Structure 1
Amino acid sequence: MDDRPFGGGEGMVLKPEPLFAAVESIWPERQPERKVVLLSASGRSFDQAVANSYTREAELLLICGRYEGVDERVAEHLADDEISIGNYVLSGGELAAAVVIDTVARLIPGVLGNETSAAFDSFQDTGHGEGLLDCPHWTRPAEFRGWKVPEVLLNGNHEEIRRFRKKLAREKTARWRPDLLV
């Protein structure tokens, strides 16, 4: 399953033969709507836009790296995409796969109880628009330890509430993720 890297170095590398055999046993004939995704610390950044694009694929097959990684021929000749969930290294790609599966699944119609829930998530261009962070949320009670829910959320005016939430989403984004503002 794995072997030492050519040229020396630390760690073990997953061999190409078992990975190609596994994918080919699942998909004997590759079709364009079926994508193989390699999870790797050196892949392109996985974000909400990538998650949205994956919902348009008929099927995804995720390959989880392990040890020092996978033979480069897997990335070059088997994987259609190579993604990373962040600028850090995990022991294996299984946690990254769980992140990808959960992020993509919640965007598929019927997975969430309310179809519009995902539209207002952070980073979505729908909902608040502009790929902002989601706005803060409050629930009952209307007052807790002297801290009150903003009055606009209690007045029933949906247009005022929409504008208020978008304003707060912009403020939150500016505070915590100014890199998202263009």
Structure 2
Amino acid sequence: MRIDIVSVVPRLMDSFFAHSILKRASDKGLVEVHLHDIRDYASGKNRQVDDYAFGGGAGMVLQVEPIARCLRSLLAERAYDEVIYLTPDGERLAQKAVNSLSLKKNLILLCGHYKGVDQRVRDLFVTKEISIGDYVLSGGELAAAVLADAIIRLIPGVLNDETSALTDSFQDDLLAPPVYTRPAEFEGVGVPEVLLSGHEANIEKWRMQQSLANTRTKRPDLLGEE
């Protein structure tokens, strides 16, 4: 997979992709992440990429021209499955959408900033709009990093144990069950005996029961019980 991230402050994401699972995915050649600075496509001595909004109002808007140059440059090089704009008014991100995106080959993630991008960018280039929650960030960089992380960890070979991703919360519209590791007892609190039994069928049954109980308590909406 190749992911191209377009931003006015791409260096914000340097360290995010240089560590842990995401770095391992890159080192294995399973994913390429390329960061693009919109200012590199701006004209003029000052490389201006934003301006005041027509009609007045507070805040600056990212201009259509430098973004269009950047996106057209990328689109001329290869076919992209999606051009995704990270925006608070997009479709709220859910695991099913992440699963689908993890099967794609080439993605562009466009980060908004200030008051967002000129609407013509969205009309002419964007194929999907995604929000990571009902709140506003200073820019789309953190949202792009969240989306990229959620996608990359699902690529076969990225996780040491590929079944790990299949048992995550939300994969079956359920929250994950409690998990335990050594020591078997801590300050008088022990691990449930079933997990120490070695009886695989009983363990799986317990985990399903715990997932249902956890979901019913914390996220009944996932079970249609809200």
TM-score (norm 1): 0.93
Structure 1 runs (4+) deviating above 6 angstroms are: none
Show CA shifts across 1:99-142 (max 9, x none): 001000011101101010000000002xxxxx101111011111
> 1:138 matched to which residue of 2?
180
The alpha-carbon deviation at position 57 of structure 1 amounts to 1.4
Higher RCO, 1 vs 2 (CA within 8 Å, ≥6 residues apart) = 2
**Correspondences of 1:145-156 after superposition (within 5 Å):** 145-156=187-198
> 1:14 matched to which residue of 2?
62
Return the alpha-carbon distance in structure 1 between the equivalents of residues 114 and 222 of structure 2: 33
Show CA shifts across 1:130-180 (max 9, x none): x10111101111111010100000111101000100100111111111111
> 2:155 matched to which residue of 1?
108
> 2:73 matched to which residue of 1?
25
TM-score (norm 2): 0.76
> 2:134 matched to which residue of 1?
87
The alpha-carbon deviation at position 14 of structure 1 amounts to 0.5
> 1:128 matched to which residue of 2?
none
Q: Specify the code of the residue in structure 2 equivalent to 1:116.
A: T
Return the alpha-carbon distance in structure 2 between the equivalents of residues 180 and 167 of structure 1: 15
3-state SS of paired residue (2:59)? coil
> 1:172 matched to which residue of 2?
214
Q: Specify the code of the residue in structure 1 equivalent to 2:132.
A: I
**Correspondences of 1:56-67 after superposition (within 5 Å):** 56-67=103-114
3-state SS of paired residue (2:213)? helix
Does residue 1:71 correspond to 2:71, yes or no? no
The alpha-carbon deviation at position 27 of structure 1 amounts to 1.9
Q: CA RMSD in A?
A: 1.1
3-state SS of paired residue (2:206)? helix
The alpha-carbon deviation at position 50 of structure 1 amounts to 1.0
The alpha-carbon deviation at position 55 of structure 1 amounts to 1.1
3-state SS of paired residue (2:163)? coil
The alpha-carbon deviation at position 29 of structure 1 amounts to 6.1
Unaligned runs of 5+ in 1: 126-130
The alpha-carbon deviation at position 30 of structure 1 amounts to 6.4
Return the alpha-carbon distance in structure 1 between the equivalents of residues 69 and 177 of structure 2: 46
The alpha-carbon deviation at position 15 of structure 1 amounts to 0.8
> 2:146 matched to which residue of 1?
99
> 2:202 matched to which residue of 1?
160
| Residue-pair matches, total | 176
Return the alpha-carbon distance in structure 1 between the equivalents of residues 53 and 96 of structure 2: 34
Show CA shifts across 1:14-62 (max 9, x none): 111111110111221663x521100001111011111111112111110
